[in-house]
């Protein structure tokens, strides 16, 4: 079992990729019990700007990275593509729909356990193997 702390973009992507590989995940998220000034709702993967994903053109580094992430079945890019809004060459999304899509996907995965708790101290774990 792997523990992931925080259900932001990185935490959700990490939990998704780990769970896809048939490994159990516990995802700790402080919302809805605690919010920061940047949080507006209880969904995961909140972004502050609809254009947070920048260019979608594969002729630049941002767009090329997104295309590589699509090939790797990135949860965040998959949800961004599903919730995109018109923005020229940029990958802009409907922020609310994007967060809802990520949250729905994470909560639907059988081997992701969600713990609504704030982690306030560092945890150490004993190794189970004898390397």
- 121: in domain: no
The pLDDT value recorded for residue 127 is 62
Number of structural domains (the chain) is 1
Residue 49, by phi and psi: left (phi above 0), alpha (psi -120 to 50) or beta?
beta
- 129: in domain: no
Q: Which of 93, 112, 96, 91 is nearest to 28 (CA)?
A: 112
The pLDDT value recorded for residue 37 is 85
Predicted TM-score (pTM) of the model is 0.87
The pLDDT value recorded for residue 36 is 85
- 33: in domain: yes
Per-residue pLDDT of the chain (131 residues; tens, 9 = 90+): 999 999 999 999 999 999 999 999 999 999 998 888 888 899 999 998 877 799 999 999 999 999 999 999 999 999 999 999 999 999 999 999 999 999 999 999 999 999 999 988 876 666 665 55
For 103, the domain range is 2-116
Separation between Cα atoms, residue 106 and residue 18, nearest integer Å: 11
- 75: in domain: yes
Kindly report each contact of residues 1-8 with a partner whose C-beta sits within 8 Å and lies 24 or more positions away, as own/partner. 1/25, 1/26, 2/26, 3/28, 3/123, 4/28, 5/119, 7/31, 7/44, 7/45, 7/103, 7/106, 7/114, 8/44, 8/45, 8/46
The pLDDT value recorded for residue 131 is 52
Kindly tell me the sign of the dihedral angle through the C-alpha atoms of 92, 98, 102, 105: negative
* CATH for 75: 3.50.50.60
Q: Which of 101, 110, 103, 104 is nearest to 23 (CA)?
A: 110
């Amino acid at each position: 079992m792997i523990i992931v702390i925080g259900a932001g973009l990185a935490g959700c992507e990490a939990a998704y990729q780990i769970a896809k590989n048939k490994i159990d995940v516990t995802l700790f998220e402080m919302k809805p019990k605690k919010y920061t000034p940047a949080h507006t709702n209880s969904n995961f993967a909140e972004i502050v700007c609809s254009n947070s994903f920048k260019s979608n053109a594969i002729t630049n580094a941002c767009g090329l990275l997104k295309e590589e992430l699509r090939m790797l079945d990135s949860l965040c890019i998959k949800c961004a593509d599903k919730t995109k809004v018109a923005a020229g060459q940029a990958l802009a999304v409907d922020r609310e729909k994007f967060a809802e899509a990520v949250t729905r996907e994470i909560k639907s995965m059988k081997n992701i356990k969600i713990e609504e708790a704030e982690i306030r101290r560092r945890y150490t774990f004993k190794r189970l193997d004898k390397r």
